[in-house]
Amino acid sequence: MTVALWCLFVACLLPVVCAGVAKSGFENFDNRRPRDWLAKQQGWRARAHAAQQNSWEALLVFAAGVLSAHLAQAPQDWVNLVALVFVAARLLYIALYVTDRSTARSLVWAVGFLASLSLFWLAL
């Protein structure tokens, strides 16, 4: 398995990690209505939940980019490097989101998004 495919695997786990952060401590957590509970959260829990939602959204573009690059037999070293940049950006993005650093978070989001788009460019 290539580094890029391992990165895709890690990217699939990031939303689950964010959910775990949002629900950690389980303050009055209601598993019968977890979405209602999450909607009422504030502060870092709400931001971790928002990071989870954004991680699902980012995963779609990244997965399509990795698979496109693999199918097109793009230069593997470049695909691996771009995939690593994406995962690093997403990890930093989540940390910045949870700690409420919005400007830096937005810049890091752009790096991750450009990395995903770069995978399509490599597939051309």
What does pTM read for this prediction? Answer: 0.94
Domain, as residue range, for 52? 3-123
Chain segment 12-33, per-residue pLDDT in tens: 999 999 999 988 877 677 778 8
Number of compact structural domains in the chain: 1
Q: Which residues have CB under 8 Å from 63's CB, separation 6+?
A: 8, 11, 12
Chain segment 35-74, per-residue pLDDT in tens: 888 888 899 999 999 999 999 999 999 999 999 999 999 9
Of 75, 58, 42, the residue nearest 113 (C-alpha): 58
> What is the mean pLDDT of the segment spanning 94-102?
97
Tokens of 74: 């793009």
Tokens of 12: 């699939």
Q: Which residues have CB under 8 Å from 94's CB, separation 6+?
A: 14, 17, 18, 48, 51, 55
> At 18, which CATH number?
1.20.120.550
